[in-house]
A = this chain, B = another copy of it.
Amino acid sequence: MYDRREVWAILDRGLVAHVGVALDQGPVVIPMIYARSDDTLYLHGAPVSRLLRALADGAATCVTVTLVDGLVLARSALRHSMNFRSVTAFGTARPVVGAGEKARALALVLEHIAEGRASEVRPPNQAELAATAVISFTIAEASAKVRYGPPMDKPGDLDLVVWAGELPLRVSAGPPVAAPDLGSELTIPPSIIGWTR
């Protein structure tokens, strides 16, 4: 149905998915953290959330992940663009109910955000698992869109005295900031010290 390798690579790089469902009052799009396992995306949140309840009820769902790679600066206004990679995935969701699958899904989400973090921290206990809604979204159909490379000006514009090119953009991390209540003997762990995206 779709190029899994390309779609999965984009999903694995993103930090936030924009999840859309159609509620009675109209469409709602919410940013959520997530993780991918094969053709499944795991999402989580508070069980009272309107969106989470709609997802758990099996509403038709669209999940979009967008990576912004740069500005494309052309000689003419309308040839400006962005270099980006995005995935739009369609499917339906179901609630994850078993404590074992919930724990695995939540560990995947944590690993998706910072690889290695799940083994550094205290795992969820039974009460925490019970208080957390986890959703499993299976991709039924997906498409990737990618733009890269320089601007494509019209031949007649090439001699204009206007700078044209690309401005590469990326998500970059600043120096980690220790929590105010953290003991001074603790050092920055592997999951964070080498974090890049």
Interface, chain A (partner B; CB < 8 A): 15-16, 18-22, 25-31, 33, 60-64, 66, 68, 71, 73-78, 80, 82, 84, 86, 88, 90, 106-107, 110, 113-114, 117-118, 120-124, 128, 132, 150-151, 153, 157-158, 160-182, 186-189, 191-192, 195
Contact = CB atoms under 8 A, between A and B. Distances in A.
B31 A84 contact: yes
A194 B145 CA distance: 29
A120 B163 CA distance: 8
Q: Please give the count of copies of this chain that the complex contains.
A: 2
Contact of A178 (B27, B165, B175): B165
A110 to B, nearest CB: 6
Contacts of A106: 77-78
B162 A167 contact: no
A171 B181 CA distance: 28
Given A122-B160, A163-B189, A167-B173, 6 more contacts: A30-B64, A75-B122, A121-B160, A162-B186, A163-B186, A166-B176
